[in-house]
Amino acid sequence: MHRYLLMAGAGLAALLAPPGAEAAAEAVAATDPASGDIVVTARRREEKIQKVPLAVSVVNDTALEATGSFNVGKLQQLQPTVQFFSSNPRNSAANIRGLGAPFGLTNDGIEQGVGLYVDQVFYARSAATTFDFLDVQQIEILRGPQGTLYGKNTTAGAINITSRPPSFSPEGRIEVSYGNLGFVQAKAAVSGPLIDDRLAIRIAAAGTHRRGTLYNVATGNRINAQDNLGLKAQVLLRATDTLNLTLAGDYNRQNPECCGQVYVRTGATQRPLNRQYAALAAAFNYAPPSLNPFDRVTDLDGDLKAKQALGGVSLRAEWELGAGTLTSVSAWRFWNWDPSNDRDFIGLPITTVSANPSKQRQWTQEIRYAGFGDAVDYVVGLFGFHQTVHTSGVQVQGPAASRWLINPARPAAFDPTVLDGLRSDNDIDFSNTSLAAFGQLTWKLTDRLRVQPGLRVNYDKKSGSYIATVVTGSGGTTLNSDQRGVLAPQSYQPKFSDWNLSYDFTLSYDFAADVLGYATYARSFKSGGINLSGLPLDAANNPILAVQTVKPESVNHFEVGLKTQFLDRRATLNIAGFWTDVKNFQATVTNGQLGVIRGYLANAAKVRVRGIEADFALRPSERLSLYANGAFTDARYAKFVDAPCPPELAGGTAVAAGQTPAPAGTPGGPSLPFCDISGQILPGVSKWALSYGGEYNVPAHVLGQDGHVYAGFDGSYRSTFSSNPSRSRYTDIKGYALSNLRFGFRAAGGWDVYGWVRNAFNVNYFDFLSVQSGNTGLVIGQPGDQRTYGLTVKAAF
């Protein structure tokens, strides 16, 4: 058992109160009892959101339920600066302002750039973002680097989730939803005292089931289903009048038939014509079941499974000591991942098995002290984190692999036995230790002017082992060049360790009682990483060891903001402008070699992200609430001269000295080994993103109950964005707008019933697009959810 002192504490800020959360509901989950203002814990202490000089948005429990935002992936429809991508639970990532995790398949050897915290416990696995929210009170989305207090893994921001605490007054909640596509969701929670006012308990459970949105003609099954179960228990002990202890445990399980994609299109590459998709498919008399991706039909012949379990226990101690609070958070967590994929993406037996089951364990310990004074408030603390990951992967080639993957100029391409049964067993281990000391203070120079410096010292140590053992279909270990070109044995043990220093400085000023301005500079880091998905090969099909590690990211961030309330505080307008430069940006790049199904890591020399955000909320009366949030984000590779080329510029013969590369999409033309994509946009980021909506209610008396009949609307828009690390004309996703409607009755007695329609106009859009390995020109994708509708009944007692 490993024990480490963890960080604790603190800080991140809050400006830009996200109107979407307030407007969608009558009540805010965490409010100041006297004023009704939204209260956040972004800086590890309770504060009114409009008084915290940093960028944070809040979505409360009522808004989450009303809008159907039951996991992190749904938040991007409420918060324009959040981007979420997921091809399966393991390969999921939440980004903020276009930064966070590199776009593409997850690599265990690097950190996420957006920290996920649940009840002050850091969740290291991005897969946690795919689970249902369980008994959540509110979610704070902290934008911009938060490295001083939340750690080096928060260069883009943090998502801070707070659960409803145990109550000493008996209470309960229940919610049941039914909808099309076989959608059933149930949530329940009960809480109350066990021993008078000393010991209280809270137990919550949630389950979600929905049939798949795609039909797989190869198996006759609906795939990409939802099958989630979550349980959580908390016990609160008031040990003394100044000491509270909270013991919590949770278990979450998913086991859907997932995850698959559909045929979208083909595009010409520089591969010879007889090695591009059309010729290869013709060689097998193969055609996809539909050329229209929004028929939602596929023919994947490999096993599909996305089974995972995640959970843990934590103990939080909060002790009022002197003029402040001492907090300790101890936690242990696990994540077990048991997948199976069809990585050739089509109904031919090219890659018949692709599975990389993993087991992750993490230990964290956090200690911090938050002090308060007339002139100075401060937070100091220590942080410790240790993680281990073991992955035992396997990839097996099928009888169609030889013809699909080997050059037809070679006789081996027409001999199925060359690659049939070729198998790679991958044994991967990863160990990661992180230690830190930090502090931040707020110095009140005058009644209006405050300065807030912060500092954090981090130490990171990472080590890994990647061993790929390859055997032929007959079990032999001697491979010919054709076999090594598809699956090559690899063995390497990367290591990384380093110290880094994060710091920030914020100046804030109250121009009036309800007008706050601030300016921030932050210097933040994301730890260096190690490649644990296999390395690219050299001309002799040996791994290129020079790319087994990647450099740390360093971030310089500037931000100014203004947050205001007016019209007797019925209106809120918050504006922020930001400029972020990232040096040695950690990018996931696609290996163009045949048979490689995962990307590897590389450093882009410089990335620049700049933009403006505006959030507006208006509540002109108790009957009507409105909100509109918008973001303009210009996210680009400022310098990336050795990037992988997009599909249309890759796959041909190597450019010889003095030779001119072929134009895009020229079959068999000379191709560059890499491309200069400086100035191109980052993947996954829309230049324009909006969310907007409101709710109107009128008093009503229904079935003997007084209450309100209400109607609500929530809309979102994203402009065009790239879905490939190097922008390709084949993988841009067109902009789209989504609209959600609801109509119901909310009774004063604590129950609520409403009907809902999501994606009301049945807009066709893609969550992501991707290309088949080997650069055949095939583009596959994941269609976004079609129109769904249903009924929700909930009650509080």
Write b or e for each residue in 439-452: b if 16 or more Cβ atoms lie within 10 A of its Cβ, otherwise e. bbbbeeeeeeebeb
* C-alpha span between 435 and 382 (Å, rounded): 8
* C-alpha span between 139 and 78 (Å, rounded): 12
**Given this model, what pLDDT does residue 146 score?**
87
Long-range contacts of 621-625, Cβ-Cβ distance < 8 Å, separation of 24 or more: 623/696, 623/697, 623/698, 624/694, 624/695, 624/696, 624/697, 625/22, 625/23, 625/24, 625/694, 625/695
**Given this model, what pLDDT does residue 84 score?**
85
Distance of CA 795 to the CA centre of its chain: 31
Please, what sign has the CA dihedral across residues 594, 597, 601, 604?
A: positive
Question: In order along the chain (797 residues), what is the average pLDDT of each group of 10 residues?
Answer: 32 30 34 60 69 84 79 83 85 88 73 89 85 89 88 85 95 96 97 95 97 96 95 97 97 94 96 95 97 98 93 97 95 96 94 94 96 93 96 95 94 96 96 95 95 95 95 94 90 93 96 96 92 77 79 95 95 96 83 48 90 95 95 96 90 87 92 91 95 96 92 96 93 97 94 96 96 91 96 95
* C-alpha span between 581 and 607 (Å, rounded): 6
In a domain, 2, yes or no: no
Range list of H helices, 524-675: none
In a domain, 416, yes or no: yes
In a domain, 7, yes or no: no
Q: pTM score, two decimals?
A: 0.90
**Given this model, what pLDDT does residue 492 score?**
92
CATH of the domain at 449: 2.40.170.20
* C-alpha span between 379 and 41 (Å, rounded): 13
Contact 59, 20 (CB under 8 A): yes
Q: 537: which DSSP letter?
A: B
Which of 423, 402, 407, 296 has the alpha carbon at shortest distance from 354?
Answer: 423
In a domain, 203, yes or no: yes
Write b or e for each residue in 425-434: b if 16 or more Cβ atoms lie within 10 A of its Cβ, otherwise e. ebebbbbbbb
Cβ-in-10-Å burial (0-12, 13-18, 19+) of 650 comes to: buried
* C-alpha span between 330 and 327 (Å, rounded): 10
SS3 351: strand
Q: What phi, psi does 683 have (nearest 5°)?
A: -70, 150
In a domain, 13, yes or no: no
> What total of structural domains would you count in the chain?
1
* C-alpha span between 64 and 177 (Å, rounded): 14
In a domain, 10, yes or no: no
Measured CA angle at 114 (ends 112, 118), to 5 deg: 105
> What's the one-letter identity of residue 184?
V
Which of 684, 738, 783, 737 has the alpha carbon at shortest distance from 103?
Answer: 684
Structure tokens that stand for 482 in this block: 């054709």
Which of 247, 175, 246, 164 has the alpha carbon at shortest distance from 206?
Answer: 175
Structure tokens that stand for 705 in this block: 């109950």
* Upper half-sphere CA count for residue 338 (Cβ side, 13 Å): 10
Give me the residues paired with residue 90 across strands: none
Question: Given phi > 0 = left and psi -120 to 50 = alpha, else beta, which region is 414?
Answer: alpha
Residues for the chain: how many in total?
797
Contact 691, 77 (CB under 8 A): yes
Write b or e for each residue in 383-415: b if 16 or more Cβ atoms lie within 10 A of its Cβ, otherwise e. bbbbbebbbebebbbbbbbbbbbbeeeeebbee
In a domain, 563, yes or no: yes
Contact 316, 246 (CB under 8 A): yes
Structure tokens that stand for 300 in this block: 């994947």
Structure tokens that stand for 10 in this block: 């603190």
- Token pair 């400085």 is found at 505
Which of 258, 354, 275, 778 has the alpha carbon at shortest distance from 597?
Answer: 354
Q: 623: which DSSP letter?
A: S
* Upper half-sphere CA count for residue 401 (Cβ side, 13 Å): 29
**Cβ-proximal residues to 613 (8 Å cutoff; 6+ apart), any chain:** 16, 55, 80, 81, 143, 575, 576, 577, 578, 629, 630, 631, 632
In a domain, 506, yes or no: yes
- Token pair 């145990």 is found at 166
* C-alpha span between 466 and 293 (Å, rounded): 37
**Given this model, what pLDDT does residue 8 score?**
30
* Structural domain containing residue 52: 19-796
Contact 675, 726 (CB under 8 A): yes
Structure tokens that stand for 750 in this block: 């604590």
Q: What is the pLDDT of residues 353-370, one digit of tens each?
A: 999 999 999 999 999 999
* C-alpha span between 373 and 9 (Å, rounded): 18
What Rg, from alpha-carbon coordinates, does the chain have?
27
* C-alpha span between 665 and 649 (Å, rounded): 6
- Token pair 């890659």 is found at 351
* C-alpha span between 132 and 205 (Å, rounded): 10
Q: What is the pLDDT of residues 520-553, one digit of tens each?
A: 999 999 898 898 888 877 767 677 787 888 899 9
